[in-house]
Amino acid sequence: MPDVFDYMCAWAAGEYDAFSKLIEESVKENREIGLNICQSLDGNFQFGPKCSGAECSVTLPKDCGTISKVGTFHTHTEDPSVDHTKFSGADILESVLSDEKLSCLGYKKDGVNHVSCITFNVPELEGQSKDELITHLKSLSFYSKQMDINMDKADGLERQINHWLKLPKEKVEPLLPRIRESMRELDRLRAKAKVDLGMEERVKNRLLAFMKEKGYVKECNG
C-alpha cells in the first residue's frame, strides 16, 4: 500500500497536462482559475467544475456535491507585489481549515508551466499539538485579514482619487488639499499592507515548518 502522500502526489503529477491547460487559460485571461479535486465512490480522483476568479483570487465551491472533496487546484497570475510561485497565507489557511488532503498551485514562470502540490495529513489532534496548530492558524488568519482590510481600503481610496482627478479642472482645484491628503493616506495604507504581507508570509512559513516537522504536510517533489 503506497503512502497516502505519495499516492496523491503521483496522481497530481499524472494530471500535469490538464493543469497546464488551465494555467494557459489563466495567463491568457489574466485571472485565477481553480477547481475542486473530488473523489468518486470508486476511489478515483476527478475534477470538479472549473471556476474563474479575479486577477488575484478565486473562490471555489465548498464541496463536490454528492461525492467527497479531497483538495483543490488553483492558478496564480503574475503579480509584482507578491511571489506568485508560492501558496499565499490565505491559501494555506483555507487548505488546513477545510481539511484538504491535496492542494495544488499552478503558475507560469519564464515561459514554463509549473504545478506544485502539497499533501496534508493532519490527524485528530489533542493537547499541545492541537493548541500549537490553533495558535499558528489564528495568527495567520489575523494577518491575512489585516492585509485584506488595508488592501481593500487602499483600492477604494485609489478609485476615489482617480474619480476626483477626472473631474473638470474647476471642480478639482478646490479638492486639491483633500486629494493630497488622500494620496498620503494611500501611501500609508499600501505600506501597512506590505508589512502585513511580510508578517503573513512569516507566520505561514512558521505554520508550514511546524506541520512539516510533525509530518502533517509534505510537498510533492520536495
Query: Can you give the binding site for Zn ion, defined by CB under 5 A?
Result: 88, 91
User: What angle, 0 to 180 degrees and rounded to 10, lies between the N-to-C axes of helices 169-214 and 89-97?
Assistant: 50
Question: What is the Cβ-side half-sphere exposure of residue 142, based on CA atoms within 13 angstroms?
Answer: 9
Query: Which residue is nearest to Zn ion, using beta carbons?
Result: 91
Q: CB of residue 72 vs Zn ion: minimum separation in angstroms?
A: 9
Q: CB of residue 74 vs Zn ion: minimum separation in angstroms?
A: 6
Nearer to Zn ion, 91 or 100 (CB): 91
Q: CB of residue 191 vs Zn ion: minimum separation in angstroms?
A: 23
**Are 200 and 148 contacting, i.e. CB atoms less than 8 angstroms apart?**
no
Nearer to Zn ion, 27 or 125 (CB): 27
Nearer to Zn ion, 2 or 222 (CB): 222
d(CA 108, CA 82): 14
Q: CB of residue 90 vs Zn ion: minimum separation in angstroms?
A: 7
d(CA 70, CA 37): 6
d(CA 17, CA 99): 26
Nearer to Zn ion, 104 or 186 (CB): 104
**Cβ neighbours for 178, distance < 8 A, ≥ 6 positions apart:** 164
d(CA 105, CA 95): 12
Q: CB of residue 91 vs Zn ion: minimum separation in angstroms?
A: 4
Nearer to Zn ion, 88 or 139 (CB): 88
